[in-house]
Chain A
Amino acid sequence: MTDLMTGPGAVLDDDLLRLSPAIGYTALVLVALSTVLIGIYGLRISRTTGDFYVASRTVRPWWNASAIGGEYLSAASFLGVAGLILISGVDALWFPIGYTAGYLMLLLFVAAPLRRSGAYTIPDFAQARLDSLLVRRVTSLLVILIGWLYIVPQLHGAALTVRVTTGLPPWAGPLAVVVVVCLSVVTGGMRSITFVQAFQYWLKLTALAVPVAFMLFRLGDAGLPVTAGGSAFTADLDTTADASLYGTISLVIALLFGTLGLPHVLVRFYTNPDGASARRTTLIVLGLLSVFYLFPTVYGILGRIHTPELAAAGAADATVLLLPGRILGGVTGDLLSALVTAGAFAAFLSTTSGLVVSLAGVVSQEFFQGSVRGFRTAALLSAAVPLGIALLTDSLALAGSVGSVFAFTASTICPLLLLGIWWRGLTDAGAIAGMLTGAVSCGGAIAATAVVGAGDRWVLLSQPALWTVPTAFLTMVLVSRATAGRRPASTSRVLARLHTPEPR
């Protein structure tokens, strides 16, 4: 089924998947242009070192939260959620719930302490907390791996969007995204990125919300079915079996605890002035995400009535792109399709650039002594590797492949952060043992799924978080206990810094 969707030389029903190329190009140019303009505006107002590092300290929580939302809402959210709802109905609603509630966990356990740690990246935090270069190295490698795995689905989404909207071959989309991201990162660095990302949140929201309003109005006006008397909810378009209870719970655990280890998410928290405002920002982010996810849900439901054939064609992720044209048609349909396409591009660009920037920071500090040249090389490297992977692999459902990255993060970085922030007993040996156990078990399960396929019998492998996350935690605790002599002398001081409020 999925072979049909992508892969070089895939056969696609042209009538099914076609928008006028003019729409696609217009949208591409609009997004690129507005991104550049806002970037220049941001560049103008930030010139000094202080501006560079703490630019966001002068930015209000609303801007900051919008930027976080802009960076976080990826291809999986913008296209994948609606596609998954189209295919598997109510079970797919767990994805947006997990993506949102992940920020609740971040708020409860990580936001304020991590901001107060002053660490800029996760490896920085690991080194400061555990006073060990080896922990730093292991964490860096994991962060780089996670970043690469997370960029790949973004590029798959770009391939799909560019193919649907412009008819260009599948490699064009990923290449375009990587080139734009590299150009902006290599030349401009991160200076103005907060404004760009914040703008892109609102662009994405508008791009989904405005067509929904038009579509619902048209459907109501013409007396066409909205939910078709409820059959939108019961229609069985699924080509696989229903999600099991185990699968659902495991997925929720992965999404809840994976969010708080994502590299590009954590970088953003450093841009808050203090711990208390980190919390306020997270609160706003939760609101922004909750509002946003209503719209992909509506697309998914409408898609079940108006574009059900996309499920069988293996192109469910194109639902958001095709639905406005299908329901509205004419000039209105074209304009709104362009808007949705623009939103999709914004999603790939913002998430990919956020990831590339945070990865480049880690890679350059680890391997290039943190020089500017090194940062640029690292940025190219951070984008080129996932580009290669994306071009060599076929995309699965976007939301699903992002889900396994969350499981991997939850099994590796999450225990390090949670135990590092809240438990005095953590040692460097324990941290390394736990992270490696989580990486091997979860990574192995994901790799095995790729080999045997995600059947019902293999749900333990395709949704591994429910057993790999506790295993990683347990290993970390037990090995730390066994090596209690290795507790760093600075533990009390570091923990005090993490948890005491900033002076009034």
Chain B
Amino acid sequence: MNRDTSQSKKFRPRLSLGPILYYWSRDDVFSFYQGIAEAPVDIVYLGETVCSKRRVVRPDDWLELATMLQQAGKEVVLSSLTLLEANSELSALQKICNNDQFMVEANDMAAVQMMSGRKNYVTGPSVNIYNSRTLDVLAKSGLKRWTLPVELSKETLTSLHHERPDGVETEVFVFGRLPLAYSARCFTARAHNLPKDDCQFRCLDYPDGLMLRTREDESFLVLNGIQTQSAKTHNLVRDIDDFIDLEVDVLRISPQSGNTEQVINIFHDCLNEKMTACDADIELQKYMMTGECDGYWHGQAGMDNTATARASIDKQRGCA
């Protein structure tokens, strides 16, 4: 199924859409996924992963969306909260893990524990799988697919793939602002001088997060409630051949408030050789709000952008 046998034997990764990391209105979430139902994405992750106070989309709503997307032919995965603090959050997590309809993405070891030995599961980028022995332990407990932690490089994934356990798929975060940190403190509430317990749901005002700039006015980080993200968009479209060579099963695109479908289409066309990676890269420039980066994949600082250095090579190849 993963392989395109009609034209060649070439391995072709599938595309996934990660969970919405921001707080959008219920209407916006529903209309977003109506669009996604038609988009050429194979896997859709659904659910709140950042803040348990974000409840305009209720658990039943998520299930309704999940059913709708499944009927549209998508593989649906329910995503779970990343930082668990209150007992109420554990109860909500238990319900998600106990569902018998959909696969669950664990974003914390509590979710892994709840599903260990009971059902198959997926891990998101915040579950720390840095080496083969860790991957083996989790594979034995039911891990079916894991997402490479975003700070790890091509070199590390290459080594991990030499010893990848049978039946375990790999996913890589290839497009979107990077999730970098989680805190007990809500930075969006703090920016409004509000306590977290009375945050007035200010995250609703920032569909792509709240920009944090250095005192030299450089866009640096994005505050998204208790989560901190990169201001730059992580873009690995130029590295698409790496993912084919390494047999990375799934490439993850992270939702943004605008143009997510266009981004999906570009990656889809690129994977289906309707567009070169160079042209895809040029197209994607329009959809990155405050710069781009790809350093992590290349073993550098995450904020680095190797594109500049590689531009001359691309030029020699007759691209760009």
The reply to whether chain A is a binding partner of chain B is no
Q: Which residues of A contact B (CB under 8 A)?
A: none
